[in-house]
Structure 1
């Protein structure tokens, strides 16, 4: 599809969202009222207000401004016999994304896939049906107004069993599946899909506070990392160097600031002896858990090596942070921690396509193939070999 047409569709959709702002908010309020039993984390992901609508519009403008992901030349070679071989980027084809709560995915994820020339099938959760249905209608109007097949963006209102059948039997000839949800959903897709899967994995992100550190800065990184509890780039675990000076005073300072921000602090029996404001939790299984709640777990480690080992064993492979004044330790941490994004003295909350400058994202991949981290339009392509001859045969 021509880049001018793709950008025209995205611009039209942006106009329609501005025009229908109140209708989108009304549909979203209906969704929220329909499921009053939702926890705060899910409500946060589901809610659409003027700010979120503004973010949708901004993401569409950013994607429209990007270079065309299709047709980029990766390799060009002409053999001595004149056979010309070129490798270029091409769309995957049809992408199925399965997600819950977040209606902004209906705009941002579809925009990234569409910009790369893909068709997209959207399967959201029942809790966001009214919002997603309206947003899909706006998508399809933007497509139709530009004489593009409206089936480039489809919303699938399927039951649980129908969704499982789609995954198992690939009845819609899907080329790629991106599940964004809990462990059960991801595992089901991985176990049952016959097509490639990109896992938008869980968070469970760790922050390590080294012994040589500006502790007030480190505390602010932790606080900011818990600013939103429902997002996958939130901090859940804080590891503190055992040899830190004034460790008791500093831990109390950290806990005080967290509690003032409504965050419950947990830790094992060793750290509760240092600060009795920390709630005791000795089950090691908590180290694997993504909380999606106003909860944070604090633990002591002997050194940088132990911190790296713990993160690589227990984290979701999403994001990890080191707070330190030691440049050598920062380098070692960032090289050896096995996460999609690693930070030195910066908040985990920047792990986001928009913050990284790639515009809207379809997912944050915690896999190493086909790509890792925020997936924008430039990553939603595969490659294809184009070979040009004049009757060439291989002897």
Structure 2
């Protein structure tokens, strides 16, 4: 069986599974999720062993440190996956809920019922925990999903898929509700993009090259989960002690993830006071390299290098931070509009009106006032988990949890009405 035939067969099975899943009760879905939580903890050694194979092969291929970090499954991340299953199981099931209802003059009741999207295809890189997060969210939302992870995570993903299948069958649901593409053949992506008969939406989660390829090839709607080029603007009205703690967290907690800080924009009125704090706390104490504009360079110490033409708009995935002094908030907003990726942008200010202006005018899936970029995450925002952070405004913008993986249809309750 060639790659296209393999994917077409998976698509047919996913379509059939999605129809059965639509009729599944909330209790059946919760049963599968709770069993999966147990299995993840029971089979931790098997998960770790599969992940070790991927890590060894990735190191042999020279995978860089940020991608190795995303690939690695630790006891903590495994526990987080198990806890996410429980959290999603306990959430209200959105499927079938009639959210709004109104009566027409002829007596008909018209409502909007929340329904699954259908079959989702997901293409992602490096992170095997995405396999679990995507699987459990789609299950709760009533969708079947076909997962194509990065080739470097194939052993981890297949082991996690085995646990998903066991949990689904335990609850009386078809295992084809969640399928992992079992080949590392690059043609699998192109094949998935042509299966509009079986796949309702495709979600690429990764870098620019992957997303452009999927957008170019896909014959079904694409929800882009683009890279995170996130900025912080330190306003002239900022509490600088508060701001430095936010910047430390946003840049250094996990520099390889999409909601890490990549660019620091500082108002000229506070630059001479704030940038030496940045140099000490991030440069001297945490070894962050600064890509500095001419105005910030003299204030940033030994770890500063001159900003290059390629730096604006770059997602570093590392302890590297672009630093630029701006004359006004408008200049900061213009810079973000030109170089941001519509992911996460923050402002540090104590001026309420300036904060509201920034929130209203900056185009990003999450805009934050006096809080770290790291909070743009499904778990942190109360969604339980996320399939990714959408940088597309249609159909959803920002972290996509269970509700964002559904849509609505109109329903009518009549008593024999006919159109005149």
Match of 1:236 in 2: 262
Match of 2:381 in 1: 356
Helix, strand or coil: the match of 1:75? strand
Match of 1:263 in 2: 288
TM-aligned CA distance change 1:138 to 1:172, over 3 Å: farther
Please say if residues 267 and 278 of structure 1, whose CA atoms lie closer than 8 Å, have aligned partners that are also in contact. no
Aligned residues: 392
Match of 1:211 in 2: 236
Helix, strand or coil: the match of 1:243? helix
Alignment partners' CA distance in 2, 1:344 and 1:83: 45
Match of 1:13 in 2: 36
Match of 1:320 in 2: 345
Residue 390 of structure 1 and its aligned partner are, at CA, apart by 5.8
* CA deviation string 1:70-97 (max 9, x = no partner): 0121332443444443320110110111
TM-aligned CA distance change 1:141 to 1:346, over 3 Å: same
Residue 126 of structure 1 and its aligned partner are, at CA, apart by 0.9
Match of 1:299 in 2: 324
Helix, strand or coil: the match of 1:101? coil
Please say if residues 269 and 280 of structure 1, whose CA atoms lie closer than 8 Å, have aligned partners that are also in contact. no
Higher mean Cα deviation, 170-179 or 279-288? 279-288
Match of 1:71 in 2: 96
Alignment partners' CA distance in 2, 1:172 and 1:136: 24
TM-aligned CA distance change 1:389 to 1:214, over 3 Å: closer
User: Match for 2:113 among 56, 65, 88?
Assistant: 88
What TM-score comes out, normalization by structure 2 length? Answer: 0.89
Please say if residues 291 and 308 of structure 2, whose CA atoms lie closer than 8 Å, have aligned partners that are also in contact. no
Helix, strand or coil: the match of 1:69? coil
Alignment partners' CA distance in 2, 1:130 and 1:202: 25
User: Match for 1:248 among 272, 281, 285?
Assistant: 272
Please say if residues 258 and 265 of structure 1, whose CA atoms lie closer than 8 Å, have aligned partners that are also in contact. no
* CA deviation string 1:342-391 (max 9, x = no partner): 11111111111111111011111112221111111111101112234566
Helix, strand or coil: the match of 1:31? helix
User: Match for 2:180 among 144, 152, 155?
Assistant: 155
Please say if residues 88 and 384 of structure 1, whose CA atoms lie closer than 8 Å, have aligned partners that are also in contact. yes
TM-aligned CA distance change 1:220 to 1:79, over 3 Å: closer
User: Match for 1:51 among 65, 69, 76?
Assistant: 76
Match of 1:125 in 2: 150
Question: Quick check: 1:386 aligned with 2:401?
Answer: no
Residue 282 of structure 1 and its aligned partner are, at CA, apart by 4.2
Please say if residues 200 and 221 of structure 2, whose CA atoms lie closer than 8 Å, have aligned partners that are also in contact. yes
Alignment partners' CA distance in 1, 2:240 and 2:290: 17
Helix, strand or coil: the match of 2:410? strand
Residue 393 of structure 1 and its aligned partner are, at CA, apart by 3.8
Match of 1:27 in 2: 50
Residue 99 of structure 1 and its aligned partner are, at CA, apart by 0.5
Gaps of at least 5 residues in structure 1 are none
Gaps of at least 5 residues in structure 2 are 1-23
Question: Quick check: 1:288 aligned with 2:325?
Answer: no
Question: Quick check: 1:334 aligned with 2:386?
Answer: no
Alignment partners' CA distance in 2, 1:243 and 1:81: 64
For the aligned residue pairs, the C-alpha RMSD in angstroms reads: 1.7
Please say if residues 363 and 375 of structure 1, whose CA atoms lie closer than 8 Å, have aligned partners that are also in contact. yes
What TM-score comes out, normalization by structure 1 length? Answer: 0.95
